[in-house]
Structure 1
């Protein structure tokens, strides 16, 4: 009996010691897991913040900075006039709310506008840059009278800081556009044509006036399918 009691008592103590040691090991393991988990969470937050910062610091940042378009007013004789427009140089396409556009963010390269007449549609982002420097842009669609197109082309060719091109999606057959100004005219003989050119070719509305005849620029980076007449 005594022999059996003496052998069982150490065994129970050993089991208790093993249980306590296992408990301490679990506690240490839990503490380690908690520390590692916290570090992972912090790292994840850091990576998420970096990715968010990177997303807003790459080429999409200029898109995020875009401001709402100002409303326009219509004068008594039908000319549309916009408020202050954005003027950032961007590398993306711009969703202009009017056709053709009257201003706004645009490409860093402008279309040649030294009396240039094009027979293909132009990249809007490049034509808008021409407007920024005081050009008047004459546009027409397939409803325009061919005789009017020829007369207007002759006027543009004789006028530095002007350009002309077709815009099939525009509302009216013949339209005239300067920075923040636009009107429809009935044709080449409409008196408003001369008035518009006189007022807006390098006019007071020009954000960046240039006092010399514009020099030719390199082909815009988007390789538009246009050519001059």
Structure 2
């Protein structure tokens, strides 16, 4: 018998069982890569959800801080009941005043003035950091406002106390040069002078003279007039 010649350049097909094992290994590797890819994708999704959750929580926290800051920044005003303007308070001086309108400067007998002839335009009520024109402020008193004036040299603590005593409307707070007392509280025809912002008679004065119905023009506006320099 003549033997079959072998082709030295052709590789052997190998054992079929070995070829199957190689295919299984490759399939397993592909499955492992797919599983790893899916695991990585799940990790990214989980981190994204955690990031969104943290952002939401952080956003809520920031919103809470901002809300607190906004609420804290809102001015807190004192509240009073409109008085009749006829109570007796120790130290209050009362006056009978004329109430003519004039565009000329007025020479007042009381400093600061507590009534009298005044400018046709009233001063808008509020807190001012600069001195105000007498004639405009007196017109506001005619409408029932209370005017709190203070010597510019009082301490920041005293000024803050005065601010805390102010209602949201029908009140004016401003510095005033040349007073003979650190603080004066004036309404139409009535005035109280005190040495300290902690004097208990200040809120008592408000309770009795603020928006009094005994002024010449009770209930008239305290806005819509002229705004002075330095309105806070």
The answer to whether residue 200 in structure 2 is matched with residue 187 in structure 1 is no
CA gap of 1:125–1:200, structure 2 versus 1, over 3 A, is same
For 2:204 and 2:113, the matched residues in 1 are separated by: 20
Give 1:78's aligned residue: 91
For 1:216 and 1:91, the matched residues in 2 are separated by: 18
Structural mapping, 1:142-181, within 5 Å: 142-156=152-166, 158-181=167-190
Give 2:124's aligned residue: 112
Task: Flag the structure with larger Rg.
Answer: 2
Give 2:16's aligned residue: none
Would you say the 8 A contact 1:139–1:166 is kept in 2? yes
Structure 2-normalised TM-score?
A: 0.58
For 1:204 and 1:186, the matched residues in 2 are separated by: 28
Structural mapping, 1:205-216, within 5 Å: 205-210=214-219, 214-216=222-224
1:202-223, Cα deviation, whole Å (9 max, x unpaired): 1143111117x6333245xxxx
Give 1:95's aligned residue: 107
The answer to whether residue 111 in structure 2 is matched with residue 122 in structure 1 is no
**How well do the aligned residues superpose, as a CA RMSD in angstroms?**
1.9
Q: Structure 1 regions of 5+ residues with no counterpart?
A: 1-74
Structure 1-normalised TM-score?
A: 0.59
1:129-160, Cα deviation, whole Å (9 max, x unpaired): 0000000000001342321111212332x331
CA gap of 1:227–1:218, structure 2 versus 1, over 3 A, is same
For 2:151 and 2:164, the matched residues in 1 are separated by: 17
1:168-198, Cα deviation, whole Å (9 max, x unpaired): 1111001100001001123222110110011
* Count of paired positions: 145
Would you say the 8 A contact 2:181–2:195 is kept in 1? no
Give 1:50's aligned residue: none
- Superposed displacement of residue 105, structure 1: 0.6
Give 1:227's aligned residue: 230
For 1:137 and 1:110, the matched residues in 2 are separated by: 12
- Range that drifts further, 196-205 or 88-97: 196-205
Would you say the 8 A contact 1:180–1:205 is kept in 2? no
Q: Secondary structure at the match of 1:206?
A: coil
For 1:95 and 1:136, the matched residues in 2 are separated by: 20
CA gap of 1:182–1:218, structure 2 versus 1, over 3 A, is closer
Would you say the 8 A contact 1:102–1:128 is kept in 2? yes
Q: Secondary structure at the match of 2:162?
A: helix
Would you say the 8 A contact 1:132–1:208 is kept in 2? yes
CA gap of 1:160–1:76, structure 2 versus 1, over 3 A, is closer
- Superposed displacement of residue 76, structure 1: 7.4
